[in-house]
Chain A
Amino acid sequence: MPEKRDLVQGTLDMLILKTLALEPLHGYGIGIRIGQISKGVFQVNAGSLLPALHRLERAGLLESGWRETQNGRRAKYYRISGAGRKKLKAETHAWDIQATAIARILNTTTEEI
């Protein structure tokens, strides 16, 4: 489904991986955490978050297990796998290069050409 592989989705995967690299979380927690860290810039809804989690798990980048939450509910917790960490590193590197390049372009003034 190529039309869904846009930048936003790629970014979402990277953000999920990063969030889980810090600590294992369940689905809702991941959404909240991304919102917190980005200071509310990114609001991730369940419609894209949950399928993304399943996709990443299928790709072997995440692992999951059922655990009790603090308030005693059973919830599915995701944690990053070794392959996931590698992927995150690579993605972060690629993103840095892209972001730097885009920033450079956007900051260009006429004199610099």
Chain B
Amino acid sequence: MRLKNVFAGLRSLFHKERFEQDLDAEVGDYIEASTSEKMRAGMDREEALRAAHLELGSVEGIKEEIRVVGWERALESLWQDIRYAARLFTKDFGYTSAVLLALAIGIGANTALFTLFSAVALKPLAVPHPEELVSLSRTTPESPRYGNFSFADYLYYRDHNTLFAGLAAESPSGLRVSGLSGSGLGRSGSEPVTVLFVTANYFSTYGVHPILGREFRSEEDELAAGPYPVLLSENYWDRRFGRDPGVLGQVLALSGFRAMVIGVTPRNFMGTRPEVPDIWIILSARGDLRGRAVDRTRLCCALTGRLKPGAKLPQAQAELLALAESLRHEYQPAEREWNVHAAVAAPFGPNHDNILRIFVVLQIAMGLVLLIACTNVAGLLLGKSAARQREIAVRLSLGATRRRLVRQMLTEGVFIAVIAGFAALLCSWQALALVRRILFESLAAQGNTLALDVTPDFRVFLYTLGISALGGISFALAPALQFSRPELVSALKEETAGFDARRKHRMHGVLVALQIAVCLALLIGAGLLTSSSTRLLSVDPGFETRTVLNITITGAQNLGYSTVRAHESQKQLEERLRALPGVVSLCVASRVPLGGNVTTTRVTPQVDGSSPSNGQQVHFPYSYVSSGYFQTLGIPLLRGRPFSVEELTTNAPVAVISDALAHRFWPDGDALGKRLTVGSAAETHSASFRAPYFQAAEIVGIAHDIYSVDLNAPDPGAVYLPRPPDDWNGTLLVRVNGEPESVALAIIAEFRKAEPRLTVSSETLRETIASGGIAAVFHVSAIISAAIGIIGFVLAAVGVYALVAYSVSQQTREVGIRMALGARPGDVVGLLLKQISKWVALGLLSGAALGVALSLSLSSRVFLQGARILDPGVIAATSLLTGGLAILAAYFPVRRATALDPAVTLRFE
């Protein structure tokens, strides 16, 4: 559009009177000129004037045609439409609030989800040139996007690559901090903090600089003794130190070692972590990592690199693969298939893809909720438009074009939807802020900082506006098209069936069926997730979960005990714990079944004293267990015996294997007394991490199968080995009698007394299982989908009620006639319900199909593995529920119509 045109338009818009005057003058002048021309030709003035007008036609028509030349005219009529819509909506408060409520729920749910999505996944990392940052993940054939590398591998990649300006390693941990001056640390004098161990080049790789103090120095990577340098996050500095710059140089006690504050990192900087660490500490503080540059199976670190300017990701990937290839001979056969995958670094690191996936699924569900809400409003609008059919007919007969009327009705729809959208935006913002505050407080109590900005940004605003407008158009379109059909005569006569009654009923039916279908699809999805979730948690894993406490001890490696001392201390502690009331038995295991951590090793059966060469070498999960393991977890030993005390102290070559493994290796014979080769000679031994190796371990016991890897199936085989006496690692498992909570408190108190430098936390195994891995994902999905399902259900209920109520009110006259002719109320109710149930049935059928299709597409997503996709029980139950709801929603208005006196209903109009 030319600038001149814009100005001319604005001029005529703001000087409307002037424009009109000019227009009048111009047309008047035309008539005047025409008249004097005709008078010159010999007519008298009156005759000439009449002729001139006759020639001209409608003066107003011409003026209108001139007015619509400018673009400002469209704006003006839009404004007219909006004012008209505003008048219309303020006139009928009940109707308007119903529409607003339905839309605000639908749009609000979508906006809230999108706000989260935008905050979590769409924001790039808050570092300079985020596109240069690359996350490395170690891949195996089983898990193509796994994570961590060993420190040795990290050093290799760091020192041999040519394309990275920097390659940093990080390893998160939860520690306790004590020795802080000031109060507020609780009775124990310490508090939990989230800690990220990082290499010295971490901050320079991310390109982030401390706001106070200094970064790590490269020589600090080699630091062999404390105090170790740490940086505080600004969040923690703020929370704990009140922004005191004197914190620099202060020495903290961090779960057993000393740390000195050297700097403060910018607020909310969290690298690729999901939360802001409180403390960043140099990785060399991890004594167990330093000096074991050879153990390539000790996976500890996530790697992030910054590409050199000009280097491209594919080149880097190719180089990393070549490096992985040259590392391959360093590995045991089991690890030879490890590889490296490089991807642009994203928030949440390797979980980014899963988060995206979950959001996509949720977005589909939310889209369905919005669809129900729009259908709902379409139903209301249909009723409203029917009431307006006389007005519409008048306007059509006065010469309004159909396009003009449709445009006006669409404007009305978009207008109300945008208002609802604004309300939804405000509500979802406040709701999210509230949730965030609650989360923030509960996380802060656990020593975590959540950096999630849920303030709607420009993107969220556009999104809300977009879906509002789209929703407005979609629900206004059907009534607009239906009622602007220029069937003037019948409408003006205001017959009951002013418009084709059958078509109108069909429209109602379709809307009812649509709502029911979408509602049912949502409920089926929610039902399947919920049933999968409860089914998972109700699986009997083969061991006791409710009365076994899982006690995590951290900081042991920093006590600096000699092997003998550690062993002594451990024994003393165990004795003291055993003496506590409520403790039935206890044991230590290298891994907790279903605790998320799985260690596997190569297991080979020996036949006739030698290992078979037929390649029957398979990897199975193993755990080192102390005496009392099977008793504590309640795993029955089918044959044989547990490890003896002597076997445990001498590290004897014995093993207990699971029933499944016994059957696998010795399908027809007795496994007891046979021998196994566990691990391989080439595995590296080290002080506190031990890859198992037994050339010929005698099978002394066969244990019942349990689920230790995941809840979908029992382990294909498991090996239990005697726990080496000098091993400090491992988890303490305590079988308790009575209230687990109170026994846990007593145990933690005992630890404080004996070894105050250790960090101890406790939960029951059931809690461990419910909060970890797939069970947690299912649980959260089930809660969210249930919430979505309920919203959809309520909206659909209201929608069906409103539609049926309206539809029945249109048939009041028919009902009256039937009743007057002697039909019993029951018959009429039955008749009306029969009409509706046809559509309900259609809705249920298509809803079930939609639900099944959705569930099938869900099941192809990684995070739903293990869901029972087609659960006929769930489908039947949700169909019954939805159908029942629809009939119930229809029953009340139908009942009301038949309860009226026929004499009244016949006079209804």
Most chain-B Cβ atoms within 10 A of its Cβ — which of A50, A55, A71?
A50
Q: Are B30 and A46 in contact (CB under 8 A)?
A: yes
Cβ of B325 < 8 Å from any Cβ of A?
no
Contact with B along A66-78 (1 / 0, CB 8 A): 1001010111100
Please encode chain A, from 51 to 87, with 1 for each CB lying within 8 Å of some chain B CB and 0 for all others: 1001101111000001001010111100000000000
Task: Give B5 Cβ to nearest chain A Cβ, in Å.
Answer: 5
Say yes or no for A47: interface residue by CB 8 A criterion.
yes
0/1 string, A38-52, CB within 8 A of B gives 1? 000000011100110
Over the window 14-41 of chain A, the binary record of Cβ atoms lying under 8 Å from chain B Cβ atoms (1 yes, 0 no) is 0000000000001111001000000000
A-side contacts of B2, CB under 8 Å = 59-60
Q: Is A58 a contact partner of B8 (Cβ separation < 8 A)?
A: yes
Instruction: Determine whether the beta carbon of A54 is less than 8 Å from that of B30.
Output: no
When chains A and B are docked, how far (Å) is the Cα of A59 from the Cα of B6? 10
- Contacting A27 at CB < 8 Å: which of B8, B26, B65? B26
How many chain B residues sit at the interface, stated as a range, is 20 to 34
B426 within 8 A of A: no
* B62 A46 Cβ-Cβ under 8 A: yes
- Let me know if B70 is at the binding interface, CB within 8 A: yes
Q: Does A51 lie within 8 Å of B25, measured CB to CB?
A: no
Contact B69 A51 (CB under 8 A): yes
Q: Are the C-beta atoms of A47 and B62 separated by less than 8 Å?
A: yes
Q: Mark B14-27, 1 if CB is under 8 A from A, else 0.
A: 00000000100111
Query: How far apart are the CA atoms of A59 and B9 in the complex, in Å?
Result: 11
Instruction: Answer whether residue B34 sits at the interface, using C-beta atoms and an 8 A cutoff.
Output: yes
Min CB gap A7→B, angstroms? 20
Task: Please report the C-alpha to C-alpha distance between residue A32 and residue B57 in the assembled complex, in whole angstroms.
Answer: 17
CB pair B57 A46 closer than 8 Å? yes
Point out the residue from B5, B26, B34, B55 that lies within 8 Å of A59, measured CB to CB: B5
Write out the residue numbers on chain A whose beta carbons fall within 8 Å of the beta carbon of B57: 45-47
User: Is the CB of B128 closer than 8 A to any CB of chain A?
Assistant: no
Kindly list chain B residues whose C-beta atoms are within 8 Å of the C-beta of A69: 33
A28 to chain B: which residues have CB within 8 Å? 29-30, 33-34, 37
The minimal Cβ–Cβ distance linking B616 to chain A, given in whole angstroms, is 79
Residues of B near A75 (CB, < 8 A) are 26, 29, 33
Chain B residues 32-71 with CB under 8 Å of chain A are: 32-34, 36-37, 55-57, 61-62, 65-66, 69-70
Contacts of B32 in A (CB 8 A): 73
Residues of the B chain whose Cβ atoms lie less than 8 Å from the Cβ of A50 = 26-27, 30, 62, 65-66
Whether a CB of chain A sits under 8 angstroms from the CB of B91 is no
Q: Do the beta carbons of B62 and A27 come within 8 Å of each other?
A: no
- Which of B22, B37, B69: most chain A CB closer than 10 A? B69
Residue of B nearest to A45 (CB): B55
In whole angstroms, how far apart are the Cα atoms of A90 and B8 in the complex?
25
Least CB distance, B407 to chain A, in whole angstroms: 14
Residues of B within 8 A of A45 (CB): 55-57
Tell me, rounded to whole Å, the shortest Cβ–Cβ distance linking B14 to chain A: 16
State whether the Cβ of B503 lies closer than 8 Å to any Cβ in chain A: no
Q: How many residues of A contact B (CB 8 A)?
A: 23
Q: Cβ of B70 and Cβ of A58 under 8 Å apart? A: yes
A60 vs B1: C-alpha distance in the bound complex, in angstroms? 11
Least Cβ–Cβ distance between A47 and chain B, in angstroms: 5
Residue among A26, A47, A54 making CB contact with B69, cutoff 8 Å = A54
A29–B32 CA distance with the chains assembled, in angstroms: 12
Is A51 in contact with B70, judged by CB distance below 8 angstroms?
Answer: no
Q: Taking the nearest CB of chain B, how far is it from the CB of A70, in angstroms?
A: 11
Cβ of B55: which chain A residues have Cβ within 8 Å of it?
A: 45-46
Q: B4 within 8 Å of A by Cβ?
A: yes
B29 touches A73 (CB 8 A): yes
Complex CA–CA separation, A95 to B15 (angstroms)? 39
Report B-chain residues with C-beta under 8 Å of the C-beta of A26.
29, 33
Is the pair B30, A27 in contact by a Cβ cutoff of 8 Å? yes
Task: Give Cα A76 to B61, complex, Å.
Answer: 20
Bound CA span A61–B577, Å: 98
Q: Is the Cβ of B8 less than 8 Å from the Cβ of A74?
A: no
A47 near B65 (CB under 8 angstroms)? Answer: yes
Complex Cα gap A27–B36 (Å): 14
Q: In whole angstroms, how far apart are the Cα atoms of A60 and B55 in the complex? A: 29
Query: Across the interface, which residues of A come within 8 angstroms of B36, CB to CB?
Result: 71
In the bound complex, do residue B33 and residue A58 qualify as a contact, i.e. CB atoms below 8 Å apart?
A: no
CB <8 Å contact, A74 and B69 = no
**Quick one: CB contact mask for B389-426 with A, threshold 8 Å, 1 for yes?**
00000000000000000000000000000000000000
- The reply to whether A54 and B66 contact each other, CB–CB distance below 8 Å, is yes
* Shortest CB distance B465–A (Å): 29
Report yes or no: B5 in contact with A76, Cβ–Cβ below 8 A: no
Q: How far is the CA of A28 from the CA of B37 in the complex (A)?
A: 10
Task: Say how far B41's CB is from chain A's closest CB, in angstroms.
Answer: 12
Name the distance in Å between A10's Cβ and chain B's nearest Cβ.
16
Scoring A28, A29, A59, A75 by chain B CB atoms within 10 A of each residue's CB, the highest score goes to A28
Nearest-CB distance from B40 to chain A (Å)?
11
| Contacts A58-B5, A59-B5; A51 near B66 (Cβ below 8 A) | yes
Tell me which residues across on chain B come within 8 A of A73, comparing CB atoms: 29, 32-33
Q: Which residue of B lies closest to A1 (CB)?
A: B68
Smallest CB–CB gap between A41 and chain B, Å? 18
Residues of chain B lying within 8 A (CB to CB) of residue A76: 22, 25-26, 29
**Interface members, chain B 164-222 (any A CB < 8 Å):** none
Query: Which residue of chain A has its CB nearest to the CB of B71?
Result: A58
* A residues in contact with B37, CB < 8 Å: 28, 32
Name which of B2, B27, B30, B36 has the most chain A CB atoms within 10 A of its CB.
B30
Chain A hits for B69, CB < 8 A: 51, 54-55, 58
- Distance between Cα atoms of A58 and B65 in the complex (Å): 14
Shortest A40–chain B CB gap in Å is 14
What residues of chain B lie closer than 8 Å to A74, measured between beta carbons?
25, 29
- Find the A residue at minimum CB distance from B27: A50
CA distance A54 to B63 in the complex (A): 11
CB distance from B764 to the nearest CB of A (A): 75
Per the bound structure, the CA–CA distance linking A29 and B36 in Å amounts to: 12
Q: Once bound together, how far apart are the Cα atoms of A59 and B3, in whole Å?
A: 10
How far is it, in angstroms, between the C-alpha of A45 and the C-alpha of B52 when the chains are bound? Answer: 11
Return chain A residues, CB-CB under 8 Å to B29.
26-28, 73-76
Q: Are A60 and B4 in contact (CB under 8 A)?
A: yes
Chain A residue nearest to B57 in the complex (CB): A47
B568 to chain A, nearest CB (A): 96
CA distance A27 to B27 in the complex (A): 9
- Chain B residues with CB under 8 A of A55: 69
* Cβ contacts under 8 Å, B30 to chain A: 27-28, 46, 50
- Nearest residue in B to A27 (C-beta to C-beta)? B30
Separation of A10 and B70 alpha carbons in the complex (Å): 19
B62 touches A51 (CB 8 A): yes
The chain A residue with its CB closest to the CB of B34 is: A28
Question: B698-730: contact bitstring with A at CB < 8 Å (1 yes, 0 no)?
Answer: 000000000000000000000000000000000
> Which residues of chain A come closer than 8 Å to B62, judged between CB atoms?
46-47, 50-51
Q: Which of A29, A45, A54, A73 has the most CB of B within 10 A?
A: A54
- Complexed CA–CA distance, A75 and B29 (Å): 6
Contact A51 B65 (CB under 8 A): yes
Complex CA distance for A69 and B69, rounded to whole angstroms: 26
Q: Given the complex of chains A and B, what is the CA–CA distance between A74 and B29 in angstroms?
A: 8
**Least CB distance, B274 to chain A, in whole angstroms:** 56
CA distance A54 to B66 in the complex (A): 7
Instruction: Report A-chain residues with C-beta under 8 Å of the C-beta of B26.
Output: 27, 50, 75-76
Q: How far is the CA of A109 from the CA of B26 in the complex (A)?
A: 51
Sample 11 A-B pairs with CB under 8 A, ordered by A number: A27-B26, A27-B30, A28-B33, A29-B33, A46-B27, A51-B65, A54-B66, A57-B8, A58-B8, A60-B4, A75-B26
Question: Which A residues lie at the B interface, using CB under 8 A?
Answer: 26-29, 32, 45-47, 50-51, 54-55, 57-60, 66, 69, 71, 73-76
18 extra A-B contacts, CB within 8 A, seeds A45-B56, A73-B32:
A26-B29, A26-B33, A27-B26, A27-B33, A28-B34, A46-B27, A46-B30, A46-B56, A50-B26, A51-B69, A57-B8, A59-B2, A60-B4, A60-B5, A66-B25, A71-B36, A75-B26, A76-B29
Q: Which 5 A-B pairs have the closest CB atoms?
A: A28-B33, A51-B65, A54-B69, A75-B29, A76-B26
